[in-house]
Chain A
Amino acid sequence: AYYVDNGIGQTEKMHEMNSRDKRELQHEILTLLGLHQRPKPKSSTTKDSAPTFMLSLYNSITSDNGVVKDDSTFHTSHNVTVGDSVVQPIEGTDIIISFVNKAKKVPHLRHEKDRTFFFDFSDVTAKETVVGAELRLYKEKSKKWKKNHEFQIQVFMLRQGKDPEDKILDPLSNITVNANTEGWITFNMTRAAELWTRQPEANLGLFIKVLFVSKGREINPNKLGIVSYRGSEDKKPFMVGFFSSQELVYPQR
């Protein structure tokens, strides 16, 4: 409905929209948001790991009610990155997208779900330029090892080898942690995001290895306390992409 203030501190309903008006208004605002139709997400709880992170980012970037503090681009004092040489991707960013891990739906990844990730970048158009990207893994304390034992977490981008079955591990980022490290660990995924935005078909997913530094042998990431697809929703891994985009061009109607 359309309400107006009546001059003595109250609002009065001026006009009640019928369903056609309402549909047209929704369509107008969706077009304004650059969307063809309203999204219908299967799950839309903000308690999951990615929405929780994005909501805290939203609150830190915008002042009250979502107004962007500076009209140029997002900027924040929010420390979005922990560890690894991730560029501060917030400056110069217009769109920030979190990506859900869909490895269990990808045939060549679903047999090693503790180590594999797939983030679908196919909706990111060539109009968006990658400013930065990061993979966020949550690590719980591991009781199996001594506190000060060190482990190196290595993240690889899967690349196509010579024959269809052959996959190559392209090193992307690695971080060394202690067995009792707890919290979110961030890995720089900018190179992978740039490739997947430019060539969506090159996206074959990510693969991680965990190396017991002093013993020089691999261990299962679960043993180190890295939360994978089986963990609680608020600690599941996700990726965040920071993009700058050209001015929204509204379709002529």
Chain B
Amino acid sequence: TQTALRRRRELYSYREEQEKYTDYNLSRHKRGASGGGRWPCQRRSLYVKFRDLGWQSWIIAPDGYHAFFCEGECSFPIGNHVNATNHAIVQTLVHMYTPFKAPSPGCAPSKLSAQSVLYFDDDGNVVLKKFPKMIVTSCGCH
């Protein structure tokens, strides 16, 4: 009896695990355009507005900046419109055959550029500082 109970528990948890993934895929599928569903990996617009954070008294420029972010799928076959590393292409193949072991490649920035900010410090000095790697200029599958 104990063995049977244990076996049933294991089976139940295994099935629960499977359903979890299935749900995830279904929901992603269902969400479609708006939730990162079937869109290929791409750069999306994100504007960070310093002014709305109430920082006008010390940030002189800019009012805000286009930070952008990366979103979308990296799934087989990776179209050549998504700049993917060679390894990412191999990764999609492995993911296709063992989806629960090897993740699909990630959609992440492949090129970044700097943003400069002009601001007052506590002493009333003015600082013009360049912040590297703050703006996504392009995304890709990695």
Contact = CB atoms under 8 A, between A and B. Distances in A.
Contact of B57 (A7, A22, A44, A58): A44
Interface residues of A, number: 45
A67 B136 CA distance: 11
A164 interface: no
A43 interface: yes
Contacts of A44: 57-58, 60, 120, 124
Interface of B: 33, 45, 48, 50, 52-53, 55, 57-58, 60-62, 64-66, 112-132, 134-135
A98 B122 contact: no
B123 A55 contact: no
Nearest to A98: B126
Contact of B120 (A7, A26, A39, A68): A39
Given A25-B53, A41-B58, A68 B126 contact: no
Contact of B123 (A1, A32, A41, A71): A41
A54 interface: yes
Contacts of A50: 125-126
17 contacts: A38-B55, A44-B58, A46-B60, A50-B125, A54-B118, A59-B61, A67-B135, A68-B130, A71-B112, A71-B132, A95-B128, A96-B128, A98-B125, A100-B124, A120-B125, A247-B132, A248-B131
A48 to B, nearest CB: 8
A123 B123 contact: yes
B60 to A, nearest CB: 6
Contacts of B113: 67-68, 71
Nearest to B135: A67
Nearest to A241: B125
Contacts of B60: 44, 46, 51, 54-55, 58
Contacts of A5: 45
B129 A33 contact: yes
B64 to A, nearest CB: 8
Contacts of B62: 65-66
